Amino acid sequence: MEIQAADLARWWHLASFGQAVIDEQGMILQVNRTLGDWLGAPMRRLIDQPASELFTPEARMLYLGLLAYRVAEHGEAGEVHLTLRVKEGEPMPVLCSARLILHRGASLTLLSMLTIARKDRLERELLEARQATQRALAEKSAALAELESLHDTLSAQRAALEQTNQRLGQEALSDVLTGLPNRRRFDQALEAALAGPSATFSVAMLDIDHFKPVNDHHGHAAGDRVLQRLGELLSSQLRGDDLAARIGGEEFGLLMPAASLEAATCALERLRQAVEARPLEELAITLSIGVTQYRAGDTRETLMQRADDALYAAKRAGRNRIVSD
Ligand SMILES: Nc1nc2c(ncn2[C@@H]2O[C@H](COP(=O)(O)OP(=O)(O)OP(=O)(O)O)[C@@H](O)[C@H]2O)c(=O)[nH]1
């Protein structure tokens, strides 16, 4: 098949490239229809216009500074990303190549443009996706930081709560005035001793003699201080595993693990003598003490009852003494 020059001239307009021929002054000599269609302008309106006017102001700099410059220097330039100005439409991104053509003594430039709207859109979408990912990552780390700070606050609150619980627990088992274990703690310790493996332990009840006159003559506050001093004395005089508790009023209970009745009586006698020998708050104080040892079948009640009975026997017998049962 023979192809005529006229055919080629027609096909120049049908090319999927936008094409323009530019003279040495940078003015458009000819454009193909494809380019005219893209720009929404009749071909004749484009002719004799500066080629740089085809592009958006930003792309114009690139066209003149890079593409036109390279063509002038090297005779050709390839794949420069430019943007066409479209009449009443969105600017159109194109990939532009150009080459110098010598024509009848003149140096013309053949400009070919390939639309890259799809590539451009994909790149924009990719950029947007990347920015969205970065935003999501930033939000995630902010959320994580917030979570960590919440976790810290929660841990601190939990620790404070545990401390409060511990304090409350201790307070619930302590006597406020003397700081000694209270009746409830004493009962718990007694139950534990009864449930424990050792069949040898002793329990004592201890009461200040004639305490009422102390209060009556020296005041309730002085009475309180005597109780506090006695509490300190009990703590310092007794063995490490002995438990001294304030049972109520001026009455104290002692649990002496692993102590036979004889050993317990001996220790209590030393305590009685120590109290008798050392005035508390400059007041001479004596103690009456009832002591008993665990017997098979004992319960907390039977043990306490025997110790109590022994205490009252000591009172009846003239006070300032120990009665053992
Ligand atoms: N200051 C003070 N006094 C208390 C406290 N608890 C009880 N008492 C006092 O202890 C005294 C106990 O008196 P009584 O039960 O008559 O016994 P007592 O005077 O010690 O006489 P005997 O026990 O028979 O030797 C009362 O005056 C109570 O008010 C307290 O926490 N502080």
Residues 193, 125, single domain; the answer is: no
List active site positions.
Answer: 250
Give the integer Cα–Cα distance in Å for 20 and 230: 113
79, 97, 115 — which closes off a domain?
115
207 in the same domain as 288: yes
308 lies in some domain? yes
Say if residue 16 is in the same domain as residue 109. Answer: yes
Residues 165 and 212 in one domain: no
Q: What's the pTM?
A: 0.57
Q: Are residues 39 and 91 in the same domain?
A: yes
3-class DSSP assignment, residue 75? coil
Supply the CATH number for residue 234's domain. Answer: 3.30.70.270
Q: What is the pLDDT of residue 263?
A: 94
What pLDDT score was predicted for residue 280? 76
**178 inside domain:** no
pLDDT value, residue 172: 79
pLDDT given at position 246: 96
Q: How many domains does the chain have?
A: 3
Residue 129 lies in a domain: yes
| pLDDT value of residue 278 | 82
Q: What is the pLDDT of residue 89?
A: 87
Query: Last residue of a domain, which of 153, 173, 193?
Result: 173
Regarding whether 145 and 124 lie in a shared domain, the answer is yes
In a domain, 165, yes or no: yes
Sign of the torsion angle spanned by Cα atoms 119, 120, 121, 124: positive
Residue 240: predicted pLDDT = 80
To test ligand 1's pocket by mutation, which of 211, 227, 228 has the most ligand atoms within 8 angstroms of CB? 211
Distance CA 144, CA 137 (A): 10
Question: Of 208, 212, 216, which is best to mutate to test ligand 1, by the most ligand atoms within 8 angstroms of its C-beta?
Answer: 212
Q: Are residues 149 and 222 in the same domain?
A: no
Residues 162 and 197 in one domain: no
- CATH number, domain with residue 97: 3.30.450.20
For ligand 1, the distance from its centroid to the CA atom of residue 244, given in whole angstroms, is 18
3-class SS of residue 248: strand
DSSP structure string for 161-224: HHHHHHHHHHHHHB-TTT-SB-HHHHHHHHHHHHHSS---EEEEEEEETTHHHHHHHH-HHHHH
Does ipTM top 0.90?
Answer: yes
Each residue's pLDDT expressed in tens, for the chain with a length of 325 residues: 889 999 998 999 999 999 999 999 999 999 999 999 999 988 899 999 999 999 999 999 999 999 999 999 999 998 899 999 998 888 999 999 999 999 999 999 999 999 987 777 788 889 999 999 999 999 999 999 999 999 999 999 999 999 998 888 777 788 989 999 999 999 999 999 999 887 899 999 999 999 999 999 999 999 999 999 999 999 888 888 899 999 989 999 999 998 999 999 999 999 999 999 987 778 889 999 999 999 999 999 999 999 999 999 999 999 999 999 9
Give the pLDDT score at 120.
Answer: 72
Nearest to 205 by CA among 322, 319, 307: 307
Residue whose CA is closest, atom 28 of ligand 1? 212
Residue 191's domain comprises 183-324
pLDDT at 319: 95
The answer to whether residues 315 and 187 belong to one domain is yes
Question: Does some domain include residue 56?
Answer: yes
The per-residue pLDDT for 38 is: 93
Is the domain of 131 the same as that of 218?
no
- Confirm if 30 and 21 have CB atoms less than 8 A apart: yes
Report the pocket of ligand 1 as residue ranges, CB < 6 Å. Answer: 177, 207-212, 215, 220, 223-224, 227, 249-250, 315, 319
Look up residue 26 and give its DSSP letter. S
Do residue 128 and residue 105 come from a single domain? no
In this structure, the answer to whether residues 160 and 201 fall within a common structural domain is: no
